Amino acid sequence: MRIVYIIPGSGGTFYCQNCMRDVALVHELQCAGHEVLVVPMYLPLFTDEKSIDDGVPVFFGGINVYLQQKFKFFRKTPRWVDRIFDSKWVLRRVASREGATSAAGLGPMTLSMLRGADGNQRKELARLVDWLTERERPDLVHISNALLIGLASALKAKMDIPVVCTFQDEDTWLDAIDPPFNEACWTAVGEHCGVIDRFIAVSEWYAERMSVRLNIERKRISVIPVGIDLNGCHPAALNFDPPTIGYLSRMSDIYGLGRLVEAFIELKQKDGLEGLKLKATGGMVGADRRFVAGLKRRLDRVGFADDVCFVEDFSREERIALIRSLSVLSVPVERGEAFGTYIIEALACGVPVVQPRAGAFPELIDVTGGGIIYDDSLSVALERMLRDPECAGRMGSCGREIVHKEFDINVVAERILAEYVSLTGERK
């Protein structure tokens, strides 16, 4: 099958769940013999050491998108001018800035992108459509998330093929946009939904949420979880001497790292937990570095700085090594998330998790049996896990068994391919 897969890049500066999901899926489909043409948007891809883009240029380069939004002059510049700002080394530098990955203040630009051919970046859209139509006609286009849904109408009109769109955490970005653009963007997403042939949500919770928010019939949304590459995910020793808490996500207060540090400080002062350690990784952008520096000063003031390790390298090999050194993992995102790839990565190595009752976390813990969901106190839930190594071991083992059966990228890719086949009539 010939598939065009459109993916927004993160630049590789932080743990990007959407990027990792897409890269793992594309790599698996390519290994299975399917022709998958990956089209990166905005920034270069975080590829987890897997090359999948086959030298395809970045489209809608982040700098050009910004310039075309702010200045009418750049909406008509020739390609040779735009190419200067689309070089990957320049875009990677932009990716490390806070504004590249923060919704605050980007309402007008987001709305313009969602308007597609009616937006200020129409020149970029025309370039993408022309580039794709010069190649052999694909069987299907898969758009990575609904923030790119403004592309759908032009692509479908030009190529007349099915378009699939994944749902994962778009609400986090759209709701963070300043009024009145936040509601205008939600409306713009809804206006394009009729063009999409199949939506794929990463959890039941998020499928219901987006169905209601966008007024989409629930039957139009299939639920297929995120899959991961399980190679190398050997069982952790779950050593509790010393007990070690882990964190794996972008190292930002948004994802609860500050709350985890405070829970760690509280637990360190309890009898029997004086030797407790904390390891955190997941990358940073912009103000995250100042935030982490503040956490280090806080830990230094209470005398625990030497018991916490902030690891900069979050490559797959380093992530697995860190996970396997833990007793428990927690990413206490209070608002919840549509999935939580870090949960699956931890459980793949048999490391149990502690998560808040929010988003899709209860759904994942219910399916895997791999951890604890808390309602009020993170420190109480962590203490329960840390003081009962046998229970932690059982949860970790149960979670690992389920993840290796249900969340292997091989299994997930087969399920997504079945969706493609149902839309195209092509045989697997």
171-183 pLDDT, tens digit per residue, is 999 999 999 999 9
* Cα 382 from Cα 260, distance rounded (Å): 10
| CA dihedral of residues 363, 365, 366, 367 (deg, nearest 10) | 90
CB 88 within 8 A of CB 59: no
Q: How far apart are CA 394 and CA 334, in angstroms?
A: 26
Return residue ranges of the chain for CATH 3.40.50.2000.
2-227+409-424, 244-406
CA distance 172 to 216: 19
Q: How far apart are CA 326 and CA 322, in angstroms?
A: 7
The residue type found at 193 is C
Phi, psi of 408 (to 5 degrees): -65, 135
Contact between 267 and 273 under an 8 Å Cβ cutoff? The reply is yes
- Select from 241, 296, 303 the least CA-distant residue to 273: 241
Residue 286 — φ and ψ, nearest 5°?
45, -120
20 token code pair:
């990792």
Q: What is the reported pLDDT for 115?
A: 94
DSSP state of 227: -
Collect contacts of 126-133 with beta carbons under 8 A, ≥24 apart: 127/59, 127/79, 128/39, 128/59, 128/60, 129/154, 129/155, 129/158, 131/59, 132/4, 132/39, 132/158, 132/159, 133/158, 133/159
CATH for 244-406 (3.40.50.2000, 3.40.50.720, 3.10.100.10, 3.40.50.300): 3.40.50.2000
CB-based contact 350:235 (threshold 8 Å): yes
**200 vs 198: CA distance, rounded Å:** 7
pLDDT of the residue at 286: 81
- At 169, phi and psi to the nearest 5? 65, 20
Residue whose tokens read 């830990």: 299
Sheet of 353-356: strand order equals: 308-311, 277-281, 244-248, 328-329, 353-356, 371-374
Q: Which residues of the chain carry a pLDDT beneath 50?
A: 98-99, 428
For residues 60 and 124, the answer to whether their CB atoms sit within 8 Å is: yes
Residue showing tokens 């689309």: 86
pLDDT (0 to 100) of residue 47: 57
CA distance 123 to 79: 10
CATH architecture of structural domain 2-227+409-424: 3-Layer(aba) Sandwich (3.40)
> Phi and psi (nearest 5°) for 372?
-120, 135
User: What residue has token string 């040779």?
Assistant: 80
Assign 141 to helix, strand or coil.
strand
Is residue 248 within 8 A of residue 344, CB to CB? The reply is no
**CA dist., res. 89 & res. 86, Å (int):** 9
The phi and psi torsions of 323 (rounded to 5 degrees) equal -60, -45
The model carries a pTM of 0.92
